[in-house]
Amino acid sequence: MAPTNTSRRGAVRPVDKYDQRRDELAESALTTLGAMGYARASLREIANNSTFSHGVVHYYFQDKLELVIYSVRYYKARCVTRYDSVVSDSTTADDLVDAFAAKLTETIREEAPMHRLWYDLRTQSMFEDQLRDAVTEIDHTLQDMIWRVVTRYAELDGRPVSVDPGVAYGMLDGLFQQTLLGYLGGRQTALDSLVAQVRTVMPLLVA
């Protein structure tokens, strides 16, 4: 019998095929979840809006909660590197603020449904222990992401950071969420306001 874990060129291990299919299901689920929200999107609804049958979805995920947690972790794993280029490429504090603000507005324009889903899940996590654990874990990675931006800003500005990571994250995440609400509500000036607010808030984070 041929070994399961083969190293032949072009061959894919069964475990890789399994993970690949779960990733494909996550991509599909995110589209439906972003459009409908956590509460309204059932496992069957997610399947109906994808190329996969309900049986296939249920084979790879025990229930909707497991699929949602996997999908959001899958998406946020990509998000946590979003501002790395801002940190590495900026040579002055002003450059960093401008690049950071531009990136924030870009991600709202391009991925508003995903951000709406994230804040929806944050609220739902207050009622579901399993979801709360996953959201808390992801939130920590996002906080670390923002902290890298803030500490680099402080370094370029030549002053120490005057707040802890939780405060910095809370302030900037609050601005982001309010801007998202305005953008989804059709407020035309929402993104421009975010840029101005980031330029005001960032200097407040250093001593």
Is the Cα dihedral 25, 75, 137, 122 positive or negative? negative
Name the pTM for this structure.
Answer: 0.86
Amino acid 13: pLDDT: 53
Amino acid 50: pLDDT: 85
Mean pLDDT for all residues in the chain: 91
Summarize pLDDT for 142-188 with one digit per residue, the tens. 999 999 999 999 999 999 999 999 999 999 999 999 999 999 999 99
With a cut of 50, say whether residue 5 has pLDDT above it.
no
Amino acid 103: pLDDT: 97
Could you tell me the CA-to-CA distances from 113 to 11, 28, 36, 202 in Å, in that order?
36, 13, 9, 26
Q: Distance from CA of residue 124 to its chain's centroid?
A: 16
Summarize pLDDT for 31-82 with one digit per residue, the tens. 999 999 999 998 889 988 888 898 999 899 999 999 999 999 999 988 889 9
Q: What is the mean pLDDT of residues 193-206?
A: 97
User: Which region among 19-23, 87-91, 99-103, 112-116 has the lowest average model confidence (pLDDT)?
Assistant: 19-23
Amino acid 14: pLDDT: 56
SS3 161: strand
Domains of the chain are: 13-72 (1.10.10.60), 80-207 (1.10.357)
With a cut of 50, say whether residue 6 has pLDDT above it.
no
